[in-house]
Amino acid sequence: MSGAVAGAVAGAEAAGRRLDEVVAELAGTSRAQAARWAADGLVEVDGRPRAKSHRLSGGERLAWAPPPAPPAGAPLAEDRPLAVRYEDERLLVVAKPAGLVVHPGPGHPTGTLVNALLGRPQTSLSGGGGAADRPGIVHRLDKDTSGQLQEAKDDRAHLAQARELAAHRVERRYLALVQGRLPAETGTVDAPIGRHPRDRKRMAVVPGGRRAVTSWRVLETFPAVQLAEASLETGRTHQVRVHLASLRHPLVGDRTYGADPALGARLGVARPFLHAWRLAFAHPTDGHRVELTEPLPPDLQVVLDRLRGT
């Protein structure tokens, strides 16, 4: 293979799975992209190119050399307001409002959090872990989720925080309003998440998905709904939304994952009731603990006040 080669050893959990599926997970790309690499002879198993449908046994040495991505224009700097909650020479934490996309992508090349970060005077950002359209971005929130997001100003800080996330040492807690009654006051969902088999815009609990772990505890109970705190051990796309929906208790307002539209309308919830309220992590310079909280935004607080009768 020519070009930049990456690789990994297939774990025992890869036994019986297709090559394109495992490489997609390891490379952080789509399965379709991994399949194209295999079709072009860019994926090897123990030194030999293999077809996308090749079944693994576990323990093989995998290598892939994706073709270089075509050059793309850098995200534009935009003068947009940002609510900065923490800042030093290496890190930023901002409170993202609902409706703001984190980084540019198809359908939203501008008007994102990244564009706003680039527009801040005298603010440097990391290389985004190699993703040119995500400078500074350490972790993400869905467009309609509000709350705290961490950004890195240099590549060493970015790598350090990415390692902390991978080791489950970054504390991320969410406030979620769920339909009905959760099965217990506290609990954990440990269920793999991947693309929905019929709707590629949605995620789902699926066999062969990436491991995902969410814990919850009930904070308040009201007629028809409960306020819960959800904590992440992993950080999969739509994780809290998918896991709570898998318990048959979707977030109020989350029609993508089965929420009752009539209940959402009655409570005045116009988006999934989900807010990243607490973020705590070890600082990459000296390891001191940074702990930050963000109150509910007005659109969600008014719903909670109404439920409390205040």
Alpha carbons 49 and 35: distance in angstroms, whole number: 12
CA distances to 139, 186, 232, 293 from 170, rounded to whole Å, are 11, 20, 9, 14
Residue in the structure block whose two tokens are 């807010």: 275
Q: Would you tell me how many other CB atoms lie within 10 Å of the CB of residue 186?
A: 11
Q: Report how far residue 302's alpha carbon sits from residue 295's, in angstroms, rounded to the nearest whole number.
A: 12
From residue 292, give the alpha-carbon distance in Å to each of 160, 185, 238, 277, 295.
Answer: 19, 25, 22, 8, 10
Residue 119's CB is within 10 A of a number of other CB atoms, namely 16
Q: Has 142 been annotated as catalytic?
A: yes
Phi, psi of 158 (to 5 degrees): -60, -45
Locate tokens 């590629």: which residue?
A: 200
| Rounded distance between C-alpha atoms, residue 256 and residue 231, angstroms | 21
Residues constituting the chain: 310
What span, in angstroms and rounded, lies between the C-alpha atoms of 276 and 147?
A: 4
Q: Name the DSSP class of 198.
A: S
> Are 243 and 226 contacting, i.e. CB atoms less than 8 angstroms apart?
no
Which residue among 20, 79, 88, 142 is the active-site one? Answer: 142
Catalytic machinery residues: 142
